[in-house]
Amino acid sequence: MDVALERRFVPRRLETGSPKDLLEKLRGFDERFVSLESEVEAWGALNDVLALVSPDACLGYSGFFDAAAAAERIGKADDVQALSTILWHDYLLRLLVKVLGTFDAGHLLPLLERATTVSMSHTGGFWVEQKGEGLDMVFVVVQRGQGDTSGLDEYVSDDALRLTTEVPPAAWASEDTVDLAEPDTEYIRTLDVDGV
């Protein structure tokens, strides 16, 4: 932090809170969203594991409210499965991908997955996978082999789903195009991102 900023501001850590606190906040936001109790428990379990790396690695809870608002906009606020899919696919797992990369915490993936399973969450039918090794390593959100993701196809096209789960975000800004009809499983090595 810049010395001038340190003189003027005092940083204060905001704790993520407990699953119990989040359920109370969700209840105050809209009683329908209390049905996400297993997802809240999974979020809490993920944070318990991530806290072993750093308190800064913990996932915030704003994604729950953003997902609830998104579900409301598309008329799916009463559909727990669709809400769970939106929450995990569009918010929590995207943040988890960034956290795993930032803190070089890929070794925690099996423990994180076990933590969500114990809480009886299927994470909206999606999970995080490590692709590549060393400097070529990235984390991506992928569709699980099991789990009901029927709510997803009602608001995400197959091409959009394939793009968001098979192509790393850095490639989205690239001038190269990706043929969605024939996804390249070796995309990490074949895409030229910013001339690198």
Domain map (residue ranges) of the chain: 14-124
Residue 101: φ, ψ to 5°: -70, -45
d(CA 190, CA 196): 11
Q: What's residue 101's pLDDT?
A: 93
Closest alpha carbon to 87 in 109, 61, 106: 61
Q: What's residue 139's pLDDT?
A: 94
Could you tell me how many residues make up the chain?
A: 196
Q: What's residue 1's pLDDT?
A: 59
d(CA 46, CA 109): 10
Q: Measured in Å, how far apart are the chain's first and last C-alpha atoms?
A: 29
Q: What's residue 193's pLDDT?
A: 40
Q: Which residues of the chain have pLDDT under 70?
A: 1, 146-196
Q: What's residue 27's pLDDT?
A: 87
- Tokens for 24, please give them: 């109370």
Write out the DSSP string of 48-75: HHHTTT-GGGSPPSHHHHHHHHHHHHTT
Write out the DSSP string of 118-133: HTT--GGGEEEEEESS
Contacts of 32 (CB under 8 A, 6+ apart): 77, 78
Closest alpha carbon to 96 in 135, 126, 125: 126
Q: What's residue 174's pLDDT?
A: 40
Closest alpha carbon to 64 in 39, 44, 45: 39
Q: What's residue 50's pLDDT?
A: 96
What sign for the dihedral angle of Cα 38, 127, 156, 16? Answer: positive
Contact criterion met (CB below 8 Å) for 187 and 178: yes
Q: What's residue 29's pLDDT?
A: 85
Please state whether the predicted TM-score (pTM) of the whole model is above 0.75.
Answer: no
